[in-house]
Chain A
Amino acid sequence: MSSASSGSLDVPRIAVADLTMAYGSFVIQRDLNFTIRRGEIFIIMGGSGCGKSTLLRSLIGLMQPTRGDIRYDGVSFTAAGLDARERTLRRFGVLYQKGALWTSMTLAENVALPLKEFTDLTPAQIREVASLKLALVGLAGFEEFYPSEISGGMQKRAALARAMALDPDILFFDEPSAGLDPVSSRRMDDLILELRDSLGATVVVVTHELPSLFAIGDSAVYLDVETRTMIAQGNPRTLRDTATDPKVHAFLTRGELAATAG
């Protein structure tokens, strides 16, 4: 986590090369090329239906890309054998769009499950670590609650606690602020920043929330829905000011400038 990370420092944490994803013959996105440095907050942005979530699903191994390669610390993930793949998966923490907490378990049990399965901690230690993770996301005292008994924002934070259970090197967020009010959404952004700074984790976020992506994004790719590939890459704030492509510009300015100009 903080100090002893594997791999040398100049190898990018994630490298995507010539990635093409398709459902059958229907191409979602093609020829994607980008790298994500360690400790970076990387945004995957684009309009609805452009394939943001599909890219995320490919990155976390839920979907096999049609062509191309995804490398973690220089090691291919797409071509990895079962064991290597599982070891890589263990380094991920994923926050799904709707939280995806297991509804039949309490929050503490949700966080404890990966600890129970993948570490040899004693039950007492597991309880402590689970409480600690819940405290980190501001849910101290909610250990015995079931997901159905807490609000949507709290469910998302609890899901984040579960995603962090195994001290992941890389955290993936699918629409972290979807369904949250502006204040909760802001809190989620702060939490992401704080966790990145203190844990040194690499963060990949799928979002189209402008305030959020300007606030936290170090770097970003823009996936276009019509040409089915990426048409811009860079820091989101810089892109907003300098992007020449009208689609990227309209997206990052909510179409306001385009509207006044046209």
Chain B
Amino acid sequence: MTADRPEDIGVSTAARWQLSVERVGDDAALVHLTGSWKLEDRLPDPEGVAQQLPPGRPIRRLAFDAQGITAWDTGLLAYVSKLHEWAAGKSIEADLAGLPEGIQRLLRLAAAVPRRQTGATAARLSWLARVGTAAVATWQAAQGTVTFVGEVALALAALLRGRARFQGSELAIQIQACGSQALPIVTLISFLVGIILAFIGAIQLRQFGAQIYVADLVGIAMAQEMGALMTAIIMSGRSGAAFAAQIGTMQVNEEVDALQTMGLSPVEFLVLPRLLALMLMIPFLTVYADLLGILGGAFVGIGWLGLTPTQYFNETKSALTLGYFAMGLFKGEVFGVLVALAGCLRGIQCGRSSAAVGLAVTSAVVTGIVCIVCSDAILTVIYHVLGF
């Protein structure tokens, strides 16, 4: 018999295979396979053989007749393999001799190495055990972070004693990457932030006719807070991510191991130049961002509020003191260290696969931004308490 197809073979549109089961002798069945048995032929479910078995005494043996097969591929292999399994489950003995030579060989090959009982799908843990596992993992991550910070501190100490080993050229490359190459994006973002601050302030201040104070607002906000904050967030997305990706890829290629076995500390060799580059460059970028933000504010003040450039300049000058810049610079420096550490830490901790590099980069940026915002909150409170 055939499965859901017209009797006329010549105009067959659906299945191109044919299957029939015939009873041979007392307890044996012969499975006839003809036509094309390929993956794309929508092959039948092997269980179907059971329904086609002629009624009578239970079958004990199964034989195949594959003379009529015109073409086959993995489809037939999968079909026979599953049928074989099903037969074994019913303690029916399957005789494969009638199948194409290639199929017999492949089935033997597939059975040559017994299925390994891996227990990959372990029993689901109770919630208590999961909480415990998570706690242990968190503790280990915290230990890893503390160890890393300690190693960096030791490397910095070695640097001060002039004993740290890293390549000057690497430092130069990183300085270029963290410094001048970041200028365009810092320019754009800080100018726009200046404009946004000015607009928000202007709408309120205009109600009192005090739009001149937009200059104070933008100047102080940029110098004390926004310049450092925006620069740090840009650097987290740019340099922090790049650090994690570079070191993580080196981890995947065993390059970090190669450094270690040569007696070169990865922390000195890879982390120090990146940390130093960011520490050196972020103050410049912060001041640059402050000035660009003030320029953005001036753009709104002059273009929309009708202030003259001299008015705006004088007002800004009288509002700002060096103290504001110093507060911003200190924050920027702290953010820079945190961003560099987060990026390098995630790179060093990276696993050995390409997916792990992606995770390391994501984690570096997230860690960086969380660190920036948390430390910003803490520093702001400290500044307030100290009465700056």
Q: Give the B-binding residues of A (Cβ under 8 A).
A: 1-4, 102-104, 119-121, 125, 128-129, 132-133, 135-136, 138-148, 167, 191, 194-195, 197-200
Q: How far, in whole Å, are A102 and B353 apart by their CA atoms in the complex?
A: 9
B36 nearest in chain A by CB position: A4
Q: A4-B36, A104-B353 are in contact. List 9 more A-B contacts (CB 8 A).
A: A2-B73, A3-B72, A103-B354, A132-B110, A136-B109, A140-B110, A143-B120, A145-B118, A198-B101
Q: How far, in whole Å, are A125 and B356 apart by their CA atoms in the complex?
A: 30
15 of the cross-chain contacts (CB-CB < 8 Å) are A2-B73, A2-B102, A4-B71, A103-B354, A103-B355, A103-B356, A104-B353, A129-B78, A132-B74, A132-B78, A140-B113, A141-B116, A144-B120, A147-B353, A198-B109
Min C-beta distance of A202 to chain B, whole Å: 14
Q: Are B106 and A199 in contact (CB under 8 A)?
A: yes
- Identify B77's interface contact among A120, A132, A143, CB under 8 A: A132
Q: Are B105 and A194 in contact (CB under 8 A)?
A: yes
Q: How far, in whole Å, are A132 and B107 apart by their CA atoms in the complex?
A: 9
Q: Are A104 and B110 in contact (CB under 8 A)?
A: no
| Contact indicator per residue, chain B 92-119, by CB within 8 Å of chain A (1) or not (0) | 0000000011110110011111111110
Q: Are A141 and B117 in contact (CB under 8 A)?
A: yes
A134 nearest in chain B by CB position: B110
Q: How far, in whole Å, are A198 and B115 apart by their CA atoms in the complex?
A: 21
Residues on the B chain within 8 Å of A146, using CB: 353
Q: How far, in whole Å, are A21 and B111 apart by their CA atoms in the complex?
A: 43
A115 nearest in chain B by CB position: B39
B357 nearest in chain A by CB position: A103
| Contact indicator per residue, chain B 66-81, by CB within 8 Å of chain A (1) or not (0) | 0001111110011001
Residues on the A chain within 8 Å of B352, using CB: 148
Q: How far, in whole Å, are A135 and B116 apart by their CA atoms in the complex?
A: 10
Residues on the B chain within 8 Å of A133, using CB: 74
A144 nearest in chain B by CB position: B120
Residues on the A chain within 8 Å of B82, using CB: 128
Residues on the B chain within 8 Å of A140, using CB: 110, 113-116
Residues on the A chain within 8 Å of B7, using CB: none
Q: How far, in whole Å, are A97 and B358 apart by their CA atoms in the complex?
A: 24
Q: How far, in whole Å, are A125 and B113 apart by their CA atoms in the complex?
A: 22
Q: Are A135 and B353 in contact (CB under 8 A)?
A: no
- Identify A138's interface contact among B39, B78, B113, B355, CB under 8 A: B113
B77 nearest in chain A by CB position: A132
Residues on the A chain within 8 Å of B111, using CB: 135
Residues on the A chain within 8 Å of B201, using CB: none
B42 nearest in chain A by CB position: A120
Residues on the A chain within 8 Å of B115, using CB: 135, 140-141
Q: How far, in whole Å, are A121 and B41 apart by their CA atoms in the complex?
A: 10
Q: How far, in whole Å, are A13 and B323 apart by their CA atoms in the complex?
A: 79
Task: Assess whether B121 is interfacial by the CB under 8 Å rule.
Answer: yes
B352 nearest in chain A by CB position: A148
Q: How far, in whole Å, are A30 and B3 apart by their CA atoms in the complex?
A: 56
| Contact indicator per residue, chain B 279-315, by CB within 8 Å of chain A (1) or not (0) | 0000000000000000000000000000000000000
Residues on the A chain within 8 Å of B112, using CB: 138
Q: How far, in whole Å, are A129 and B103 apart by their CA atoms in the complex?
A: 14
